[in-house]
Every structure is written in C-alpha cells, then in structure tokens.
Chains A and B, each alone.
Chain A
Amino acid sequence: MPESRTAKSPMVPPRSFLWSRRIFLTLLTGFVLIPVYVMVSSSLKPLADVTGTFRWLPSGLTVRPYIDIWSTVPLARYFVNSLIVAGSATICSVVVAVFAAYAVSRYTFRGKRVFTVTVLSTQMFPGILFLLPLFLIYVNIGNATGIALFGSRGGLILTYLTFSLPFSIWMLIGYFDSVPRDLDEAALVDGCGPLGALLRIVVPAAIPGIVAVAVYAFMTAWGEVLFASVMTDDATRTLAVGLQGYSTLYDVYWNQIMAASLVVSVPVVAGFLLLQRYLVAGLTAGAVK
C-alpha cells in the first residue's frame, strides 16, 4: 500500500490517480532526460557520429572530446573567469541582500515602502533596456577614474550581483520575518549591537534561506549570456561566451560542444542537487508564505 498523505488517516489513492501519476511521471521523465542523454552520449562519440544522421547509440565510445575541449578553445581560462565572476557576485550579493533584508524586516523607517517597491520593480526591467546605458556608464567611469569596469571581471561582477539582488532581498525579508523577533531582541538586551544580533542570531537561524539565495545568485551569474558577450574581452571571457568557440567556419564539433557543456554543468548541477533541500526550505519560509 502506498504511503498516504498523513499517517493518521491512511487513504489509499484510487487506481485512476495511480495510473495518471504513472503515465504523467513517465512522460515527464522522458521529456526531461532526453536532452541530458543526448548531451552525455554525444560527448562520448567520435566526430563522424555527430556529423552524420543522429544515432541513439555511439558506433564507438571515445573520451577524445574530453581531451580536445581544452585545446580547441582556452576552456580552462573561461572556467576560471566564470568561477571568479559568479563566485564573487554571489558572495557580494548575499552580503548586501542580508543587510538590506534585515533593515526592512526589523526596522520602521521613512522610505521603507519606496525602497521595497523600487527594488522589486527592477525585477521587471528587461535586460536589454539597460545594456547600452550601462555599457556607456562603465566606459565613462573608466575614462574619468581609470577604474576599468568595461571588459573587466569587476564590471561583470557588479552587474551580476544586482541581477539576483531584488529576488534575494524579497526572499530574505520573508525569511527573516519568520525568525522570531524575541530571539534577537534578547540578544540586544544581552548587550549585542544590532550587527551582533544580526550575525549571531538572525543569520544562523536563517541559513536555509541564505543558502537558497546564494544558489540562486550563483546560477544567475553562471548562466548569463547577454552581458557576458558584450562586456568581456579575450582575457575575461566567461564560459557563456566561450562555448561558442567550438563552431568554426568549416566544422561544428558537436561532440566537443557536448563534452564542454557537460564539464561546465556538472559542478553547478551537483551543487544545486546537494543544496536543493535548502532551496525548498528557503522558498517555503521566504517566498511562499
């Protein structure tokens, strides 16, 4: 007997439910897995296999694509760039969001409403709206101060960290609201400063929410394409742009593209799956209340 919704009042799902579930989940699994299978299997095929008609099974397995990807394009460099950019953007974004969400959750102050509404509404800006203006601002800042933002990792970090900021702040406000106020009030009475209360009480209690926000920020930065293709040069190119290098004028090395895609994806997917419990917990308390 399948376990039921509650232990107290066992209810056997009717056959119609079980059959719909079986059919639906099977189809969905196929839909989800086919591209993953294509990615994995094609990355192990010789070039001849991926340039001809598609084959479900490779004619021969080879790890050659995994060796070649590093020399066809400077993949290692792109990898390091992506890691630096996405990592820094994540850390900065989380810190900034924690402070902002704490202020909104725990204090009343003038302009609070204006702030939250403004930050949330930036969520609806189409990226294309501020691509060119931002590019001009970065160039102007560079000309005026000598700080190279355009073409540098710094500019990209600055851009990406604001991409995840609205959603992160919004989620953390909800999460902090669910941390009992008595806890940090007690800390204040015990002589902690407000920052002490935040760092010692609120942050530890909100770890699932903070991890969820960090995962979201990292994925946003790791997957962004538009700004990465406009704002990077040879030295600072990230993976999002770098993968385009496998298509030459004459050949598209599909097996190498698939191998590189897999190499690029594995760390993110593994990290995400490890932390997904936090994500659901964070969403439950923060975004879905």
Chain B
Amino acid sequence: MTTTAFQEPVRQETPGAAVREPRRRTGRLRRVSLPYLLLLPALLLELLVHLLPMVIGIVMSFKELTQFYIRDWGTAPWSGLGNYKVSVDFDAPVGKALLHSFFVTVGFTLLSVGLCWLIGTAAAIFMQDTFRGRGLLRALFLVPYALPVYAAVITWVFMFQHDNGLVNHVLYDQLHLTDKRAFWLLGDNSFYALLTVSVWKGWPFAFLIVMAGLQNIPKELYEAAALDGAGMWQQIRRITLPSLRPVNQVLILILFLWTFNDFNTPYVLFGKSAPEAADLLSVHIYQASFVTWNFGTGSAMSVLLLLFLLVVTGGYLALTSRGRRTADA
C-alpha cells in the first residue's frame, strides 16, 4: 500500500481500480487488521495474567475454598455470599480485623503519598536552578528509587533492630531521646517504621515526575513575572505550583495506587504477618489466604479491595479533567 494508513483512510477511486481490485481488498484487510495484530501480544498477555485471574478470583470468592479443595478448586462447594458476609461482619473477629486493616492502610497511604509528594516537590523546586553539586545531588536522590526493594528494606530492618540497630543507638545511646530501647518492628511503633521506609523509597519517584513537569513550564512566564516584580517565593506560588497541577493529578493517582497495593515493603519489613499497627491490606489478605489457608475469604477480601479502588479511582478521575484525558488517550 502506498497511501497513508492513518486516521483518515484515503478512499478516492482511481482509474483502473477495477483491475487492481483484489490487491486493494487484501490491502484494506491488512489496514483494518493491522492495529489489532499489533495489539494482540499485549491483549493476550493482559488476558492471561491479569483478566483471567481476576475472573477466577471473583469466582473463587463465592466458593468455600480451603486447602482441601485447592488441588481441584472447581469442586469446592459454593458458599454464595458467605465469604463476603464473613468479611464485612465487623462484629466478628475476621471482619473486625479487616476493617482495622482497612483503616490502617488508608491512613498509611494518605500519609505516605502526602509526604512523598511534599518532599519530592520541594526537592524538585529547590533544584530547578543550577548550583554547584546539583548533578551529584540529583543522582544521590535517585538512589533509594533505584535500589531493589528487598535490599533497601532489609537495610532498614537492620537499622530498626532492637539491640544492634542504628535507630535505637542514635535515639537511646547517643541522644537519650527515648527512655529505653524501643521495638520498632513490633507494636505501635511499627506503623512509623513502615511509613519511614515507604517515604524513603517513594519520594524520589515524585521528585522525578515533578522535575520532568518543571521542564514543561515556559520560561517566559517567569520572565514576565520577574518583570512585574514578583519575587522568587511568589513565582513559586503563582507560577510553578499552578503549572504543576496536571502533573500532580497523575502523580498522586499513581503514588496512591502503588502505595495502597504495595506488598513488597511490608513483607520484607515484617514477614508473613505484620504487627497490628502496620497490618496493610495486601499482607492481611496474603495471611488470610496463605497462612490460615482460607482462600475463599481471601478472594472475597481482594474483590472488596478492588471495588474500593475502582470507586476511588473513578471518583478521582471524574474530579480531574486531566485524568479524563489520560484515560481517553
């Protein structure tokens, strides 16, 4: 085919078209099917690894699936809405624990995303101008993001150790800020330990995105503002931050989804069962499924979690016009 195969297929009749009819038809067929062929690998993979498992997961959530049926899960008895009833019965232990875990996760996610965004944005704005050592600093700041999760988090585990960790050494031995060596990976402190690690690991992503976003702000805006006598702080408040709005909307959504679903960090930090104060949903569901062997309940919890994320994301996208454009892309 010689003509363009883009948005507006050229349909003009050319002399001698009748003679070349067969070739034209195969060309047309190719033109119509080509985008689908290009999409096919992605489609098949998404289907196999994301959508099919999701459908199976939803079916499983209606079954009484325990370890006895796992070899041949199709034969497990139906339980209707039983698993959901157990999950949302907030007076009984299972539901109560799930509700608690939900609130912990929401609180943790909001704090972590907020702090990551704040630190990342501040760092990007402070480093917008060139100064000596800027390149080195920028590289350093990206190290937490580049480190493999398990290597980074295991280092924090070492730092949070009760007897031989850096945190207690500094807080208790050196600064005398605490009256005894605290346990950081047990009890209530574990929430702050998790938050610290999550922010340490997560803020460079915000930094990267905001840095990229800053490059798209036209320099003329700053020049005009400077001519009008706006100081640096005013420029940041009146130009930089408003111009970052569309970037922030996408950034915050991505950070939210990644943090909310993060399994790697709590799993390396606490192991198979997290302390109550830091019992994130992902680990909670893992424990319900793989430690107490109740796959049906675990699946029901996962589906509830997905519904929650769908509602939140949908609401968020509806609120932000930029989000709508992205989904349309």
Judging by beta carbons under 8 Å apart, are A5 and B222 in contact?
A: yes
- The contact of A50 among B164, B232, B263, by CB within 8 Å, is B164
Judging by beta carbons under 8 Å apart, are A6 and B267 in contact?
A: no
Q: Which B residues lie within 8 Å of A183 (CB)?
A: none
Give Cα A279 to B289, complex, Å: 38
Contact indicator per residue, chain B 254-293, by CB within 8 Å of chain A (1) or not (0):
1001001101100110000000000001100110011000
Interface of A is mostly: helix
Contact indicator per residue, chain A 12-26, by CB within 8 Å of chain B (1) or not (0):
011011001100110
Judging by beta carbons under 8 Å apart, are B53 and A133 in contact?
A: yes
Judging by beta carbons under 8 Å apart, are B39 and A124 in contact?
A: no
Q: Which A residues lie within 8 Å of B151 (CB)?
A: 39, 243, 261-262, 264-265
Q: Which B residues lie within 8 Å of A97 (CB)?
A: 42
Judging by beta carbons under 8 Å apart, are B42 and A169 in contact?
A: yes
Q: Which B residues lie within 8 Å of A96 (CB)?
A: 41-42, 45
Give Cα A21 to B168, complex, Å: 29
Near B by CB (< 8 A), chain A positions 108-151 give 108-109, 112-113, 115-134, 136-137
Asked if B318 is at the interface of the complex by the 8 Å CB criterion, the answer is no
Chain A residue with Cβ nearest B283: A128
Chain B residue with Cβ nearest A168: B42
Residues of B within 8 Å of A, CB-based: how many? 112
Summed over the interface, the residue pairs from A and B with CB atoms below 8 Å come to a total of 317
Q: If A51-B164, A127-B261 touch, does A261 touch B137 (CB 8 Å cutoff)?
A: no
Q: Which A residues lie within 8 Å of B155 (CB)?
A: 35, 38-39, 258, 261
Asked if B139 is at the interface of the complex by the 8 Å CB criterion, the answer is yes
Q: Which B residues lie within 8 Å of A127 (CB)?
A: 261, 263, 282
Interface of B is mostly: helix
5 A-B residue pairs with CB within 8 Å: A28-B119, A113-B328, A131-B286, A261-B155, A288-B216
Residues of A within 8 A of B (CB): 2-6, 8-9, 11, 13-14, 16-17, 20-21, 24-25, 28-29, 31-36, 38-39, 42, 50-54, 95-97, 99-100, 102-104, 106-109, 112-113, 115-134, 136-137, 158-159, 161-162, 165, 169-170, 173-174, 177, 181, 185, 188-189, 191, 194, 219, 222-226, 230, 239-240, 243, 254, 257-258, 261-262, 264-265, 268-269, 272-273, 276, 279-280, 283-284, 287-289
Closest 7 CB pairs of A and B: A130-B53, A133-B53, A261-B151, A272-B146, A103-B38, A133-B56, A54-B169
